[in-house]
Amino acid sequence: MGKSSRRSTATSSTTPSITPSARSAFFNSKSTPSPSVSEQKSARTSLINVLSRPRPTSAVSHLFAVSNEGFSPFDDDFDLSDQSTISSYASSISSTRHPSAEDVAQLYKDYLDKPFVNIKSTFKHSEFGHDNNPNWRWTSQWNPDEPIHPMVEIQPPYYVLLTTYISYLMFIVLGHIRDFFGKRFVPAHYAHLMSHNGYAALNSDFDSFYTRRLKKRIDDIFSRPVTGVAGRSIVVYDRYSNDEQDTFQYTGGKTRALNVSSYNYLGFASSSGGCADAVEVAIKRYGISSAGFRLDASTLDLHQQTEKLVARFVGAEAAMVISQGFATNSTTIPALVGKGCLVISDELNHASIRFGVRLSGASIRMFKHNDMKSLEKLLRECISQGQPRTHRPWKKILIIVEGLYSMEGSLVNLPQLIELRRRYKFYLYVDEAHSIGAIGPNGRGVCDYFGIDSREVDVLMGTFTKSFGAAGGYIAGSKELIDRLRVRSHAMCYAESMSPAVLTQIIASMGSIMGIAPPLASPAEEESDSVSIVSRHAVYGPAPASSLPTWLTLPTTLLNGTEGRERLRRLAFNSRYLSSGLRKLGFIVYGHRDSPIIPLLVFSPGKMPYFSQMMLKRIGVEKTPIVVVVVAYPATPLISSRVRFCLSASHTKNDIDMLLRACDEIADVLDLRYGKQTMTVDEVIASAEELVAANF
């Protein structure tokens, strides 16, 4: 059994150990076994588990083995093994194995007296949590038994819908009453809404009503200023408002909180480590700007190296990079389609896509979100009817979908789309802004996830903002396509080129996900893994060493792909765990369980500020503050306001446990369990691995 305690190849040399909480978790799960779960698990073991977890016989024996061998009560690093916590006091508590009540009280007092304010974290793992339990890993891969997109969405009880509508109605009525009196008694506040001196109002009274009268009431939960790295934790500025959120005053204090809001899927947003060091070298070598337009004289060798690596990463012939993610869509789509072309777009596509399509002058039709039947019907209609009025055939039809929808957490039904593509001869444009790096066994996005050759997709688009901790976006496809776009895309001709610092961050993070061949040193204890980089699918193999700039050096764990793979598998576990856990707790959660974006439905607008504030102001022992994103209309349909969690490989299982507990507490206060609760939070935490492995 000694084998099983082999270290996670991640970063630290700490002895793997099992924490008391995890042990109790194990006992809980043993006392309440779930037959259906274990049955399904065994079926799945044969397929994917082999790839995803190095467990010798079963979770049970493994846990015992680890706990017997590795659990060393006097190990100083014990607390760091898999529950490096964020806030100062919590971390100190867990390092004291048997804290007395006074200790806790003192630590807590210290914490309250001196909240953590330092930008430069003196604590370990504030940007990237260390988690070396090899069982808390998963491989993000399509399981044909699970539906890609639920046919029927779970609906909340009718009273929830009714009260939600009523609260909006009340907001609107109250807003109009306030506007009515406000305009008469305090016209100064409305100056910008009324025409004056012959100038029409800059903002229309009507257009800004929602912003002024609904969003403003809860403005303190939006756009909170932060500082430091948006990593596992983030430092939020404390602020308050004395004038109904017109302006905010800063107390000068800052709160370090668990960050489940940033798109830091693989945890590459960091101020230190291999990638940051590489960027530092690049800044010293190249400066910070490549100044000017790509087509003039701002194409650096670094741009070309990045583009080659990106193409390799996504499995396409060629790629080009653009300095902003939004602009990647909005300046490329007009270069692809124009008058006489038809764009068929998912109704929930991102604003940048709509921006680009509007610029292109092509006709646009929309289909119901992820509904392939509706799409096929629309395709048949559009092809058979041709262009409106003239009935001339369309020049070409471009279908634009997203790989992973940022507000829904739903994955595109790519297998069916590819089938439709063969029949209906349209061109397919997949926006992988969120899925690239976050989805798929090799992190190569939805094509990798579904096991589809990425050359089946005509245009692959993605961004570097999310998984790679950089900025900007890319377009990848055939060489012919990219060469054409280089001279037709607005951004290539008229927008600034990407900064060398950003390019290097992309190369370093992408290279470490892919692994660089030949590895300079053999990875530590690589034999534990059945998915070593050598055995990966040829398309998604390691990048040749020549694809890195010669001056760029990366630490061995990044270079051989170990780190990248671990991050992918941690992210996959975290996502599936939280998504499943929240469902079991009785929340309505949208999206696919493999999605790192997990929207939790709140519905009633009045509950949004409370949810956000209660998460941030969790005061109590072991209650680390959490920052969450709440989204409401117009980003979502009017009634389905939601809280959106974005998980990261930098989160540990402990962080997810904490998040589940926090949600569980808040659910009781705010009445958020719109679905059926089938497990208690302790049961969920105890059976994390079973939940992740189970199909449902």
Partner 1 sequence: MSSTAPTEIPTPLIPLLSLLSSAFLTLQSLFHRIPGSPIIVRYIKSSYQDDPYRSLLEVLLLAFAVRTLLQRRTGGEAEGKSFIKLTAKEIDELVDDWQPVALVEEPNELDAMILPTVPTIYGPNGIKVKTSPTGKSLLNMVTPNWTGLVENERLKQVAVETLHSYGVGTCGPAGFYGYIDVHMDFEQELANFIGTESSITYAQGFAAVSSCIPAFAKRGDIIVADRGCNFAIQKGLQISRSTIRWFAHGDMADLEKVLQSVERDLKRKGGKLTKKFIVAEGIFENDGMLLDLPKVMELKKKFKYRLMLDETYSIGMVGAHGKGLTEYYGVPAAEVDMIFGSMASSFGTGGGFCAGSSVVCSHQRINSSASVFSASLPALLTTTSSTALSILLTTPTLFTTLQSNVLTFRAQLSKLEAVPSVPPTSSPRPSLPVLPSSASSTESIPIGAQTPNKDAIIQIPSHPSSALMYIFLLNPPSTVEEEEALLQDVVDEVQTNGSILITRARRLRGQETFEPEPSLKVCVSAAMGKKDVEKAGQALRAALVKFCSSE
Q: How many residues bind partner 1 (CB under 8 A)?
A: 138
Q: Which stretch binds partner 1 (CB under 8 A): 54-62, 92-100, 271-279, 618-626?
A: 271-279
Establish if 199 lies at the interface with partner 1 (CB under 8 A): yes
Establish if 181 lies at the interface with partner 1 (CB under 8 A): no
Establish if 465 lies at the interface with partner 1 (CB under 8 A): yes
Establish if 452 lies at the interface with partner 1 (CB under 8 A): no
Looking at residues 206 to 225 of the shown chain, list those that interact with partner 1 (rule: CB under 8 A): 207-208, 211, 215, 222-225
Which of 50, 161, 418, 493 is close enough to bind partner 1 by CB under 8 A? 493
Which of 9, 85, 135, 264 is close enough to bind partner 1 by CB under 8 A? 264
Nearer to partner 1 (CB atom), residue 76 or residue 243 = 243
Nearer to partner 1 (CB atom), residue 327 or residue 662 = 327
Which of 488, 532, 674, 695 is close enough to bind partner 1 by CB under 8 A? 488
What is the β-pairing status of strands 342-346 and 249-259? Answer: unpaired
Which of 263, 474, 577, 587 is close enough to bind partner 1 by CB under 8 A? 263
Which H/E stretch holds residue 342? strand 342-346
Residues 670 and 611: their CA atoms lie apart, in Å, by 8
For the bound state, the minimum distance from the C-beta of residue 615 to partner 1, rounded and expressed in Å, comes to 13
The token pair that represents 222 in the structure block: 């939006």
Which of 7, 396, 623, 673 is close enough to bind partner 1 by CB under 8 A? 396
Query: How far is CA 600 from its chain centroid?
Result: 14
Q: Which long-range contacts (CB under 8 A, 24 or more apart) does 371-379 make?
A: 371/149, 372/413, 372/416, 372/417, 372/420, 375/344, 375/399, 375/417, 375/420, 376/420, 376/424, 378/344, 379/344, 379/420, 379/424, 379/426
Separation in Å, CA 550 to CA 282, 287, 498, 553 = 11, 17, 20, 8
Nearer to partner 1 (CB atom), residue 22 or residue 485 = 485
Establish if 187 lies at the interface with partner 1 (CB under 8 A): no
Nearer to partner 1 (CB atom), residue 139 or residue 345 = 345
Q: Which stretch binds partner 1 (CB under 8 A): 31-39, 57-65, 171-179, 254-262?
A: 254-262
Establish if 495 lies at the interface with partner 1 (CB under 8 A): yes
Nearer to partner 1 (CB atom), residue 109 or residue 395 = 395
Establish if 198 lies at the interface with partner 1 (CB under 8 A): yes
Q: Which stretch binds partner 1 (CB under 8 A): 25-33, 491-499, 572-580, 584-592?
A: 491-499
The identity of residue 25, as a single letter, is A
Separation in Å, CA 450 to CA 140, 263, 519 = 10, 22, 28
* Cα angle 220-241-628, degrees, rounded to a multiple of 5: 20
Which of 287, 520, 525, 671 is close enough to bind partner 1 by CB under 8 A? 287
Looking at residues 294 to 313 of the shown chain, list those that interact with partner 1 (rule: CB under 8 A): 294-301, 304
* Cβ neighbour number for residue 170 with a 10 Å cutoff: 12
Q: Which stretch binds partner 1 (CB under 8 A): 51-59, 496-504, 522-530, 537-545?
A: 496-504
Nearer to partner 1 (CB atom), residue 29 or residue 331 = 331
Looking at residues 565 to 624 of the shown chain, list those that interact with partner 1 (rule: CB under 8 A): none
Which of 389, 521, 538, 620 is close enough to bind partner 1 by CB under 8 A? 389
For the bound state, the minimum distance from the C-beta of residue 236 to partner 1, rounded and expressed in Å, comes to 7
Which of 49, 271, 416, 528 is close enough to bind partner 1 by CB under 8 A? 271
Nearer to partner 1 (CB atom), residue 436 or residue 481 = 481
Residues 537 and 529: their CA atoms lie apart, in Å, by 15
The token pair that represents 127 in the structure block: 């940007």
Establish if 195 lies at the interface with partner 1 (CB under 8 A): yes
Q: What character string, x for contact with partner 1 (CB under 8 A) and - otherwise, covers 501-540?
A: xx--x-----------------------------------
What angle separates helix 653-670 from helix 20-31, to the nearest 10 degrees?
Answer: 60
Residues 344 and 560: their CA atoms lie apart, in Å, by 41
Establish if 272 lies at the interface with partner 1 (CB under 8 A): yes
For the bound state, the minimum distance from the C-beta of residue 488 to partner 1, rounded and expressed in Å, comes to 7
Which of 325, 409, 511, 519 is close enough to bind partner 1 by CB under 8 A? 325
For the bound state, the minimum distance from the C-beta of residue 411 to partner 1, rounded and expressed in Å, comes to 20
Nearer to partner 1 (CB atom), residue 88 or residue 259 = 259
Which of 107, 362, 476, 481 is close enough to bind partner 1 by CB under 8 A? 481
Q: Which stretch binds partner 1 (CB under 8 A): 38-46, 91-99, 325-333, 671-679?
A: 325-333
The token pair that represents 192 in the structure block: 């910008």
Which of 39, 103, 453, 480 is close enough to bind partner 1 by CB under 8 A? 480
Establish if 44 lies at the interface with partner 1 (CB under 8 A): no
Which of 49, 374, 532, 680 is close enough to bind partner 1 by CB under 8 A? 374
Q: What character string, x for contact with partner 1 (CB under 8 A) and - otherwise, covers 329-348?
A: -xx--xxx----------x-
Cβ burial 540-565 (10 Å sphere, 16+ → b, else e): bbbbeeebbbeebebeebbbbbbbbb
DSSP-assigned states of every residue in 166-218:
HHHHHHHHHHHHHHHHHHHH-GGGGGGGS-BTTBPPSS-TTTTHIIIIIIGGG
Helices (H), 515-652: 556-559, 562-584, 607-616
Looking at residues 222 to 241 of the shown chain, list those that interact with partner 1 (rule: CB under 8 A): 222-231, 234, 236-237
Establish if 404 lies at the interface with partner 1 (CB under 8 A): no
The token pair that represents 45 in the structure block: 């073991």
Separation in Å, CA 585 to CA 23, 335, 538, 643, 678 = 21, 47, 41, 15, 6
* Cβ neighbour number for residue 521 with a 10 Å cutoff: 9
The identity of residue 502, as a single letter, is V
For the bound state, the minimum distance from the C-beta of residue 123 to partner 1, rounded and expressed in Å, comes to 15
Task: Provide φ and ψ at 609, rounded to 5°.
Answer: -60, -35
> In a 10 Å sphere around its CB, with 0-12 CB exposed, 13-18 middle and 19+ buried, how is residue 109 labelled?
exposed
Question: How many CA atoms lie less than 13 Å away from 562 in the CB half-sphere?
Answer: 23
The position carrying tokens 């290539």 is 492
Establish if 200 lies at the interface with partner 1 (CB under 8 A): yes
Q: What character string, x for contact with partner 1 (CB under 8 A) and - otherwise, covers 652-671?
A: --------------------
Q: Terminal CA-to-CA distance of the chain, rounded, Å?
A: 32
Separation in Å, CA 64 to CA 5, 528, 654 = 10, 19, 19
The position carrying tokens 């430092």 is 235
Looking at residues 83 to 122 of the shown chain, list those that interact with partner 1 (rule: CB under 8 A): 119-120
Residues 278 and 281: their CA atoms lie apart, in Å, by 5
